[in-house]
Structure 1
Amino acid sequence: MIKGIFETHINVSDYKKSAEFYEKLLNIIPLYEDAERKLKFYWVGQPGEAMLGIRENYPSSLVQRQHFAFRVDLNDISSAKDYLSSLNIMTTNFFGESADNLLVFPFMPAVSIYFEDPDGHSIEFIAMLDDQPKPELEIMPWKEWEKLCGRE
């Protein structure tokens, strides 16, 4: 029975440059590197919970944009923009607008912030909300969600 996603691998154009990028992110723990094969693995969160692999030009030199999300705590979403900005990483919301206006996905519900790695892979920090899902609602600003849930 499936219990979650354990491992994600992405193709990168320069594994050393990508390694530098990912090693700046919180809770990314270097696990294994094979310089000959130009790959590196990381634990995401606690060792043994989830793994990210980067590999240069595998299976080809064509790097196709991928998307994946790292689960974070809700209180970390608020500081993520400043943290990523300190690393010179531009952040956006789901619609590619300023991360000053973060959005909630009511069907989950969750709030998130987006950014890209050196190859343009779409990365998301996402935090689940304790509220009941509201799948009948469209994606909305977090401030609006908070008001809707009586927490303004």
Structure 2
Amino acid sequence: MALSTLKKKRRIQVVAMAAVALVVSTALVGYAMRDGINFFRSPSQVMAEPPQPTETFRIGGLVEQGTLIRGAGEEISFSVTDGGASVPVVYTGVLPDLFEENQGMVGTGRYVDGRFVATEILAKHDETYMPKEVVDALKEQGVYQESAPGS
């Protein structure tokens, strides 16, 4: 009988240690990923509820016609729109080859002093690709039109 009680105690200890290890490992993974999770926002969402300047997020839409300005050096400014709102964007660096006005883009950065300061800019890859979040935001504004297959 004492042997059975000892086995039960040992089993409970093992289960408790496994539960503690699971909780600790989950907390460590969450802590490690806290900076790697960037939420997506459309320009309309950014203008309706501007995020804090310390928050890194992704913004996507179409590069607004007539807003692309290449400054001195590698500084570029333009506006991104979803048809409902436009957000000015500033980026220092080399833009992707396919980046141009009226094309889809996704940028990662922060919204500071009324403009999106991008640390990374991605352009659509070919004539049919556009990130799902951007398509959803453009559809919501009634701007996005499906392209015909093979066109």
- Do Structure 1 and Structure 2 share a fold, with TM-score over 0.5? no
Report the TM-score range of the alignment, normalised by the length of the smaller protein: under 0.3
Which structure has the bigger radius of gyration?
A: 2
TM-score, structure 1 as length reference: 0.23
TM-score, structure 2 as length reference: 0.24
The structure richer in helix per residue is 2
